[in-house]
Structure 1
Amino acid sequence: MSKHVLFVCQSCHHSSQERAENQLADGTLLLNQLNTLYAEQFPANELEIQPVGCLGTCDRPCAVAFSALHKPTFLFTNLPLTESTVALLQFGEVYLANKTGDISGKYFPQMLRSASIAKIPPVE
């Protein structure tokens, strides 16, 4: 099986106000939530959760991207911090199980249907 990666922007932040020096960005909090839930519920380690400095969607936080060789990349933005963790891992299961990665929106968890989504074709 090819490597599947969930990229998580750790610099995303919903508030337009400056964060206190010791306050974590929302993206870092999302990354921590994903890592914790993934370790508890998905022991097979089929999906690598990888932090990135910035995914360039600063006006639409929080942002993540699912990517794998020979599959389209799915970029999700406008993700609410507290409600999206479970839905993202559910989508990850669908993405892993689908050989081509060509996933119709009807198979997205309900919570992700309200996010901004980009489907980027695979590099062949």
Structure 2
Amino acid sequence: MRAILHVCTTCRGMVPAEDPDAPRPGAVLHQALTDAPPEGVEIRPVECLSACSQGCAVSLSGAGKWSYVYGRLTPEDAADIATGAAAYAASSDGIVPWRERPTIFRKQSLARIPPQE
């Protein structure tokens, strides 16, 4: 089964937009990840991950795997997110060895959730 990367499309980011009509950073991040999806990962938009004070947020989950929520992200982090998501998808339990995780996944984890049985 593929890993699922949920990307909050309503996230406003850490800095208020100067142009209120500009696309939200979460939507821009979602588009960047959709344009180049990581191997073994399905990208799904979600309207809210309830991490609004944490900038752009994503979550990773998979059947029988630990799930993670990451925040304080920007559209510029798309390549690192894709790298981390691919490593997650390749893992058997969702736990990627510390040194193999992108820095943003080491330092910007908001939650780690046990697998559902």
TM-score interval (norm. to shorter): 0.7 to 0.9
Q: CA RMSD of the aligned region, Å?
A: 1.8
Offset, 1:111: 3.7
Aligned residue number for residue 112 of structure 1: 105
The 8 Å contact of residues 2 and 89 in structure 2, kept in 1 or not, is answered as: no
Offset, 1:32: 0.6
Aligned residue number for residue 122 of structure 1: 115
Q: Between the two proteins, what is the percent identity of the paired residues?
A: 28
Letter in 2 for 1:87: D
Is 1:69 paired with 2:63?
A: yes
Q: How many residues align?
A: 116
The Cα offsets for residues 9-63 of structure 1, whole Å up to 9 and x where unpaired, read as: 001112346752x31110000001111122xxx5x6x211000000000000110
**Structure 1: stretches of 5+ with no match in the other structure:** none
Aligned residue number for residue 50 of structure 1: 44
Alpha-carbon distance in 2 for matches of 1:48, 1:24: 22
Aligned residue number for residue 81 of structure 1: 75
Alpha-carbon distance in 2 for matches of 1:96, 1:16: 33
TM-score normalised over the length of structure 1: 0.83
User: Equivalences for 1:88-107 in 2 at 5 Å?
Assistant: 88-107=81-100
Kindly tell me: are residues 17 and 37 of structure 1, through their superposed partners in 2, closer, same or farther at Cα, counting changes over 3 Å? closer
TM-score normalised over the length of structure 2: 0.87
Please tell me whether Structure 1 or Structure 2 has the larger radius of gyration of its CA atoms. 1
Kindly tell me: are residues 37 and 24 of structure 1, through their superposed partners in 2, closer, same or farther at Cα, counting changes over 3 Å? same
Letter in 2 for 1:8: V
Offset, 1:75: 0.7
